[in-house]
Amino acid sequence: MWQALLDDLRGTPAEGRFTIVAVALDQAQAAAPWVEAGKPQYPCLIDADHHLADLYGFVNVPQAVWIDESGQIVRPPESAGASDAFRLMDREKFTLPQSALEARVQTRERYTAAVKDWALNGSASRFALTPEQVRARLRPADPREVLAHAHFTLGLHLTEVGDANQAASHFKQASDLHPDSWAIWRRGAPKDARGLAAGAAFWARVDALGDRPYYPPAGL
């Protein structure tokens, strides 16, 4: 959807002053094939160490943060065009009812329209938040979350030196300390044949949310 947005902005005042930077919170061998298949015309980075998640507080994908030309946050991290419609999926056939498909498209289109409005109108966009509004949406880092990222980093190091058992222990401790982070959980979670953490353990964790959202609405 990001490439379509950039294509839509060609020939407008936003072309040349606005871009998307996509960052995969994943291992290179898992993320690179998707990037290569998509052939995006914008920067795509791989952050296997989750530096971005640590700095900005990302807990899931896709999330986005809007940053203006002066380096100021215009919208803090939020769900980027994703919704909980996937929770209505038939888990055997991997199909969605038509209503869920339509809701998913509407959420994505609503979000990309907001990004486009900001790209064209800058601070005059109704979706651009003031510094005070940004601060109101941010929250201080929880000490448990800081410790979780430390365990996660240690787990990555132990993986690199070949100590898989100790690495798994630290990934679990990281997830236990920061249970809201699906990004941390995925690193140590069981993977399916595609290498994705989308099997029974994933669905059990989604079901455990109850009425809580997997993708909190962006609040546009």
Dihedral sign, Cα of residue 7, residue 10, residue 14, residue 20: positive
Q: What is the pLDDT of residue 84?
A: 96
What ranges do the domains of the chain cover? 2-137, 143-207
Q: What is the pLDDT of residue 198?
A: 79
Dihedral sign, Cα of residue 120, residue 216, residue 45, residue 129: positive
Q: What is the mean pLDDT of the chain?
A: 93
Whole-angstrom distance, CA of residue 192 vs CA of residue 71: 39
Q: What is the pLDDT of residue 178?
A: 96
The answer to whether 1 and 108 are in contact (CB under 8 A) is: yes
Distant-in-sequence, close-in-space partners of 60: CB < 8 Å, separation ≥ 6:
79, 181, 182, 183, 214, 215
3-48 residue pLDDT tens: 999 999 999 999 989 999 999 988 777 788 888 888 899 999 999 8
Q: What is the pLDDT of residue 32?
A: 83
Within a 13 Å sphere around the CA of 39, how many CA atoms are in the beta-carbon half? Answer: 0
Q: What is the pLDDT of residue 30?
A: 77
Sequence-distant contacts of 173-179: CB under 8 A, at least 24 apart: 173/148, 174/148, 174/149, 175/148, 177/144, 177/145, 177/147, 177/148, 177/151, 178/59, 178/142, 178/144, 178/145, 178/148, 178/149
117-175 residue pLDDT tens: 999 999 999 999 999 999 999 988 899 999 999 999 999 999 999 999 999 999 999 99
Q: What is the pLDDT of residue 16?
A: 87
Q: What is the pLDDT of residue 100?
A: 95
User: Does position 194 have pLDDT exceeding 80, yes or no?
Assistant: no
Q: Which fold does the domain 2-137 belong to in CATH?
A: Glutaredoxin (3.40.30)
